[in-house]
Every structure is written in structure tokens, then in C-alpha cells.
Amino acid sequence: MRRSGMLNRPRYLTEYHMLRTECGATTPAAWLFDAEDPVAVTLAIGVAPKPVHWTMSRELLAAGMCRTRLRPAGDGDVQVHARLGVLDNDQPDLRGVRRPILVVDLMPPEGSVRLFLDGLIARIFLRRTYEFLPKRREDRIVARQIAAAEDRFRQVQS
């Protein structure tokens, strides 16, 4: 059975890991991707039943991996940049090892928080999203969604 040109593929991708806040606290997090919303990725922070979800574009995540703290990617509530550093984590073989760190600044009206994530995990997740749903297919899905929304709008107007 084929669905949207894919052979029985699941709709979602998830990559789990731990993140660290600027005050040093660690919490579970997950990168989420839904093929029905191909331009976005979501960072779920915390544990069920009430994790906090921050959604950003795949392009913002990709751009942030190539930016420094002097020029982060993003103009709004989410800014992303990369750096090399030591991300203390619970894996003894990685303690003290310099590695890519993805810094995500979340700036809602209530305040702001800086998160430090494993840059390798984020890069692997992003690469998997593009393998799962290439950019050229993303554009087609968005065009179909826009056409469907326009059809619904016309029906409501009639």
C-alpha cells in the first residue's frame, strides 16, 4: 500500500536525549517531526503527561547549526546557534569531551531560557527528517495544504 508516495512509512520521527539549562539542570527532551507538517520540527521538553512543546521551522534548525552566538539564526521567540564545548552528560565515556553543542534560546513574553543540546543528536535528527521527507516533497505537501485550505475557504464563502 502506498500513501503519499511512501511505502507504509510512519508519519513521525522522534529522537530522545537529555538537555541542560543554563543553570545546570538536566531534563529529558525529544525532537519530533510529523510528515503532515513538513516545514516544522518540535522540541518537547520535560516528561509526559505535560511536556512543553516549542515548534520551529526545519530551516531555522538547519541554519542555527551553522551559526555562532554572535549571529544566531531566528528573529522571534526561538533563536538557535552552535558552538563547541563540553556538555556534561551521564555517559562516562563522553564526560569532559569537547563536542558540538546546539544552543536554543526560547524567549516567550513570560521570560527566557537558554537550552544546551547535543549538537550531534540534533544534526542526526535533522538529517533523518530530510531523508524521511526531502525538501522537494515538503514543497508539494505545503502546496496541497494551501490548495485544500483555499477550497475550504471558497466553500465557506459560497
Domain borders along the chain are 9-157
Written as one string, the DSSP assignment of 69-80 is TTS-B-SSSEEE
Count Cα neighbours of 130 within 13 Å in the Cβ-side half-sphere: 12
Give the C-alpha separation, 130 to 27, whole Å.
27
Please enumerate in sequence order all residues whose Cβ is within 8 A of that of 114, keeping only pairs 6 or more positions apart, or say none.
Answer: 21, 22, 103, 104, 105, 106
Report the CATH fold assignment for 9-157: Transcriptional Co-activator pc4; Chain A (2.30.31)
Q: What is the pLDDT of residues 113-137, one digit of tens each?
A: 899 998 999 999 999 998 888 877 7
Count Cα neighbours of 115 within 13 Å in the Cβ-side half-sphere: 24
Give the pLDDT confidence score for residue 70 in this predicted structure: 78
Give the pLDDT confidence score for residue 89 in this predicted structure: 53
Write down the pTM of the prediction. 0.75
* Residue 107 scores a pLDDT above 50: yes
Q: Which amino acid is at 53?
A: H
